[in-house]
Structure 1
Amino acid sequence: MTGPRDDARPAIATLVGERVRSLRTSRHWSLDELAGRSGVSKGMVVQIEAGRTNPSIGTLVRIADAFGVTIARLVEDQRPPEIRVNGPAEYSVLWQGPAGGRATLFGGIDEPEFVEFWEWVLEPGEEQVSDDHAIGTREMAHVLTGSLTLRVGSVEVRVGAGQTALYPGDVPHVYRNDGAEQTRVHMVVTMPPGEFDRRAHRR
């Protein structure tokens, strides 16, 4: 799994670093505290805050959960006005698969609702393995084309074009394309408000 692509938004590593550092210092957390709460190593947190790495989507999820914010809060250029119209130039591609698949964050809402809107494109044979998110996180995936093999915990189902799956995001889950054609999915993720400390919720 790779991090955000460099060509689309060359300043994303710097932006994420600034956001993470600002959110951490506003809470008076040390680097060790953020590392403990998120389950991300202190060394990686240092690299992120310095803008020296494009963190993977899994790392962004863990850090956003720790702060109690959406991933959009970490990667979008500014707090949205009352009405904001996004286009491709503002979208963030936060995962690219080995065969050309991608996960695109269209946008997110922070406070009082915590919602993210994604598009996932999986080429045949590609999969994305996701850790558990903050307790209470829910996901809704609507398959536009192809079919999606979805595993949530120990349960696996196949979701066809035109079908929608609703499932908990607070257990490990996997998205996979077992078909012969491209799978395209629109996904909504809702999260509970509040910071999430993984040290207090070890499974």
Structure 2
Amino acid sequence: MRNEGPSRDPGPDQVELQLAARLAELRVERGWSLEELARRTGVSRSTLSRLERAEISPTAAQLGRLCTAYERTMSRLLAEVESEPPQLVRASEQTVWRDETSGFVRRSVSPPHAGLRGEVIEGVLRPGADISYEGPPVPGLEQHIWVLEGTVEITANGHAHELRAGDCLRFRLWGRSRFRCPGPEPVRYAVLVVLP
């Protein structure tokens, strides 16, 4: 995982350390052992231990499973390890997270903010990228996905959709989801998430 943000950010290593610490805090707050968290997420105990010690970085799929267990969106979890975002979020200040393994790049265009229920995310998938999530971090999470460039296949709640530039898919997510870029070009899309 790589996190890129404004020059005031402590840097990728510091963000990864803060994320690892926050993941450990969330587990302890719930009174879960590593074995219990492994059972709830399907991520091995040894991997969870290494994630919490910042020995490895989570993949998008692993982070998605952890967010589901902790009932948080990925944006909310990442916001918890950063300082309070300003009302105006300049492009140079938007946090970028990369999962090189899956070919997913995520830009937090409008991060979660106290008193606001929505957030805007830009996603980019390279050709051949295929990411699956077991379930939403918050059941019934409302999402609006607008494709800006390219083509993406999105499966949500058991229904598959092929979206092209300009198309918008909107739904409340209750089950599994999958994002796949069939190529040959990358796909770039915007996601509006509305928290309940």
TM-score, with structure 1 as normaliser: 0.73
Equivalent of residue 180 in structure 2, options 176, 179, 191: 176
Structure 2: where are the runs of 5+ without partners?
A: 5-10
Give yes or no for the alignment of 1:127 onto 2:102. Answer: no
* Alpha carbons 1:142, 1:163 under 8 Å: kept: yes
Cα distance, 1:166 vs structure 2: 1.0
Task: Give the structure 2 partner of residue 137 of structure 1.
Answer: 141
Between the aligned partners of 1:150 and 1:83, the Cα distance in structure 2 is 31
Task: Give the structure 2 partner of residue 147 of structure 1.
Answer: 151
Give yes or no for the alignment of 1:58 onto 2:61. Answer: yes
Cα distance, 1:26 vs structure 2: 2.8
Give yes or no for the alignment of 1:5 onto 2:9. Answer: no
TM-score, with structure 2 as normaliser: 0.75
Identity of aligned residues (%): 23
* Alpha carbons 1:137, 1:169 under 8 Å: kept: yes
* Alpha carbons 1:149, 1:175 under 8 Å: kept: yes
Structure 2 matches for 1:160-175, cutoff 5 A?
160-175=164-179
Cα distance, 1:184 vs structure 2: 1.0
Between the aligned partners of 1:16 and 1:101, the Cα distance in structure 2 is 18
Cα distance, 1:82 vs structure 2: 6.8
Between the aligned partners of 1:114 and 1:21, the Cα distance in structure 2 is 26
Cα distance, 1:63 vs structure 2: 1.4
1:58–1:190 distance in 2 versus 1, CA, 3 Å: farther
Task: Give the structure 1 partner of residue 7 of structure 2.
Answer: none
Relative to structure 2, which stretch is displaced further, 40-49 or 122-131? 122-131
Cα distance, 1:190 vs structure 2: 4.0
Cα distance, 1:81 vs structure 2: 5.6
* Alpha carbons 1:123, 1:181 under 8 Å: kept: yes
One-letter code aligned to 1:30: S
Task: Give the structure 2 partner of residue 197 of structure 1.
Answer: none
1:181–1:163 distance in 2 versus 1, CA, 3 Å: same
Between the aligned partners of 1:140 and 1:32, the Cα distance in structure 2 is 35
SS, match of residue 11 in structure 1: helix
Relative to structure 2, which stretch is displaced further, 61-70 or 15-24? 61-70
Alignment RMSD: 3.1
* Alpha carbons 1:149, 1:177 under 8 Å: kept: yes
Which string of whole-angstrom CA distances, capped at 9 and with x for unpartnered residues, describes residues 170-201 of structure 1?
A: 32222223354332101123455xxxxxxxxx
* Alpha carbons 1:14, 1:51 under 8 Å: kept: yes
1:163–1:12 distance in 2 versus 1, CA, 3 Å: same
Task: Give the structure 2 partner of residue 48 of structure 1.
Answer: 51
* Alpha carbons 1:91, 1:105 under 8 Å: kept: yes
